[in-house]
Amino acid sequence: MITYASAAEDKQARREAILEAALALFLEDTRRLPTVASVATRSKLAKGTIYICAPMTPKPAKCSGRADCRRARCPRR
């Protein structure tokens, strides 16, 4: 019988592979940050997978509703 990992387990395994590859590349040369391409190559994943599984920017916070909100896409502007 063949067993498959769940989507959550698979995503977590890819995320761990990405982080391990990024850390290894950084420790090899601490003067520069590893590129997405080099992390993808080291973790044996596609570059698109890196962008999906390990977003580089935090998700935006929900609108606070304040009058002085300066977010570009604020629905209350």
Q: How many CB atoms lie within 10 A of CB 72?
A: 6
Span 59-70, pLDDT tens digits: 566 666 566 666
pLDDT at 57: 61
Nearest partner of 25 among 50, 49, 53, 59, judged by Cα: 50
Task: Please tell me which residue, 51 or 58, carries the higher pLDDT value.
Answer: 51
Q: Domains in the chain, start-ordered, CATH in brackets?
A: 7-53 (1.10.10)
Span 6-55, pLDDT tens digits: 788 888 889 899 999 999 999 999 898 899 999 999 999 999 888 888 76
What are 72-75's contacts with CB under 8 Å, separation 24+? none
